């Protein structure tokens, strides 16, 4: 694949486009653990693409399933119509989900999954005759996509500041990042469960009768890899249950093996009322997302005349046949290769390796859980500049990591080998020493 000669037409997301065009990083192919750039260099994918390619790139079963699907049924409408792959994919996802999360609403991304979950939560209370429950509670430093709902409950200031007031009737829990007590934690931090009690203060301020849902990430990824403190999620669950508030887990990053279990909800033993997923559901091959809802939530909509539309919401490409084929083949690949179990086995090795960076210049914190880790760096003269320089130099050394703020994050495909973990960490160590 030839590199383009004109880069002006495309507006890249979450990118300094002028900086990129001056020195583009161009990927032209991928297989297994590696990308190939436009100069023919192999680049170790330490990010699973964008937290999504959990089974590695160009996996034959997934490729063949997509090829077959596009030649058999390239599109089918999902409004008042169905196709077999949609029901098979939904059944497979529901069987994997914990507790009574047995019903799957398909969409096309984590952003759409987040907005769908929020709409379902609001509609659920209205269906039950509790229409006063309209307030949504997010969390500082949370990320739930780029739709207006997701941005409103999200708590990353840089994602919000250009867009005015967003949705009203939203409040936020405090974030759980507490470096004074939890710096260099291995896995879930010991301190911070009590931060969930802020929800009781929000309930006291607004009254529970006005609150529809709370949405959190079990591990906040985009803000810099912040695992929930021990006991925090269960405390949120207990408070929500006591006040009739729906609890939504955003598992767009943590779902499908990233933490060494099907979902963070399974790993931590805390089941929400709604769970949002995307990314790893199709191994990143075809865009897809979903809101997975409990029997209780679903059954609230199955009232009234059977000919009435129960949820006036959806997308042209909901349950797209090609995405469904990719999802089924992806889930088969995860199961046949025991990739979730493999992630759990490899997690201690990654933890030991990344914490070996402690004590290097400018390293202020290291965080990890499952097969995801982050190294926080002391800010330089301009925020993010040191982390960006490490990211850029790593790419030119053949390792793709991510940076978010002053944090370097990596989350390799679950097929990663120990030698590749070593290479990722050794490359970061070299660059952290070099970058002033």
CB 147, CB 119: distance < 8 Å: no
- Nearest C-alpha neighbor of 328 from the set 61, 45, 135, 98: 61
- In terms of domains, do 321 and 367 share one? no
Q: How far apart are CA 131 and CA 9, in angstroms?
A: 46
- In terms of domains, do 225 and 373 share one? no
Mean pLDDT of the 247-268 span: 98
281 in a structural domain: yes
**165 confidence band (pLDDT: 50, 70, 90):** confident
pLDDT at 4: 81
The domain boundary residue, chosen from 313, 336, 359: 336
Q: Which residues constitute the domain of residue 399?
A: 17-55+338-434
Element (H, E) at 410: strand 407-410
- In terms of domains, do 218 and 366 share one? no
Mean pLDDT of the 415-430 span: 98
Average pLDDT of the chain is: 97
Q: What percent of the chain has pLDDT over 70?
A: 100
**Phi then psi for 267, rounded to 5 degrees?**
-60, -40
For residue range 346-400, list pLDDT tens digits in order: 999 999 999 999 999 999 999 999 999 999 999 998 889 999 999 999 999 999 9
3-state secondary structure 93-127: HHHHCCCCEEEEEEECCHHHHHHHHHHHHHHHHHH
For residue range 45-98, list pLDDT tens digits in order: 999 999 999 999 999 999 999 999 999 999 999 999 999 999 999 999 999 999
Task: Report the domain count for the chain.
Answer: 2
- Nearest C-alpha neighbor of 413 from the set 101, 120, 91, 32: 32
For the cut 80, the answer to whether the pLDDT of residue 436 exceeds it is yes
Q: What is the CATH number of the domain that holds 427?
A: 3.90.1150.10
Mean pLDDT of the 162-187 span: 96
pLDDT at 382: 87
- In terms of domains, do 252 and 369 share one? no
The domain boundary residue, chosen from 276, 311, 336: 336
Q: How far apart are CA 173 and CA 194, in angstroms?
A: 12
- In terms of domains, do 40 and 188 share one? no
Alpha carbon separation from 162 to 110, 300, 381 (Å, rounded): 21, 37, 24
Q: How far apart are CA 241 and CA 245, in angstroms?
A: 6
Mean pLDDT of the 213-241 span: 98
Q: Is the pTM of this model over 0.75?
A: yes
- Lowest-confidence segment of 2-16, 21-35, 334-348, 388-402 by average pLDDT: 2-16
């Amino acid at each position: 694949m030839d590199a383009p000669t004109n880069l002006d037409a495309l507006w890249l997301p979450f990118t300094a486009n002028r900086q990129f065009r001056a020195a583009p990083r161009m990927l032209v192919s991928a297989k297994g653990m590696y990308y190939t750039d436009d100069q023919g260099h192999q680049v170790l994918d330490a990010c699973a693409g964008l937290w999504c390619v959990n089974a590695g790139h160009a996996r034959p079963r997934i490729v063949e399933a997509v090829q077959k699907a596009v030649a058999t049924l390239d599109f089918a409408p999902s409004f008042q119509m169905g196709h077999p792959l949609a029901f098979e994919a939904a059944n497979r996802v529901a069987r994997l989900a914990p507790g009574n999360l047995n019903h799957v609403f398909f969409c096309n991304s984590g952003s759409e999954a987040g907005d769908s979950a929020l709409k379902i939560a609001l509609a659920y209370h209205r269906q039950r005759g509790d229409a006063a429950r309209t307030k949504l509670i997010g969390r500082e430093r949370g990320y739930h996509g780029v739709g207006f709902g997701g941005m409103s409950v999200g708590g990353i200031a840089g994602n919000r500041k250009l867009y005015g007031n967003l949705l009203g009737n939203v409040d936020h829990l405090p974030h759980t990042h507490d470096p004074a007590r939890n710096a260099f934690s291995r896995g879930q931090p010991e301190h911070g469960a009590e931060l969930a009690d802020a929800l009781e203060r929000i309930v006291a301020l607004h009254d529970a009768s006005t609150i529809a849902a709370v949405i959190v990430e079990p591990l906040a990824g985009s803000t810099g890899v912040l695992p929930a403190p021990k006991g925090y999620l269960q405390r949120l669950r207990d408070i929500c249950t006591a006040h009739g508030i729906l609890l939504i887990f955003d598992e767009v990053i943590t779902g499908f093996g990233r933490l060494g279990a099907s979902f963070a909800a399974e790993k931590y033993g805390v089941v929400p009322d709604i769970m949002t997923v995307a990314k790893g559901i199709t191994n990143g091959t075809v865009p897809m997302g979903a809101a997975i809802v409990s029997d209780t939530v679903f059954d609230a909509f199955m009232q009234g005349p059977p000919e009435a539309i129960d949820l006036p919401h959806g997308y042209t490409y909901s349950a797209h046949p090609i995405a469904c084929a990719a999802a089924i083949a992806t889930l088969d690949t995860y199961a046949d290769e025991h990739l979730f179990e493999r992630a759990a086995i490899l997690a201690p090795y990654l933890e030991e390796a990344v914490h070996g960076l402690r004590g290097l210049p400018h390293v202020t914190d290291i965080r990890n859980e499952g097969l995801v880790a982050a190294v926080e760096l002391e800010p330089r003269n301009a925020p993010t500049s040191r982390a960006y320089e490490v990211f850029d130099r790593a790419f030119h050394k053949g390792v793709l990591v991510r940076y978010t703020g002053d944090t370097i994050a990596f989350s390799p495909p679950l097929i990663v080998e120990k030698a590749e973990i070593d290479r990722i960490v050794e490359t970061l160590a070299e660059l952290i020493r070099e970058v002033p």
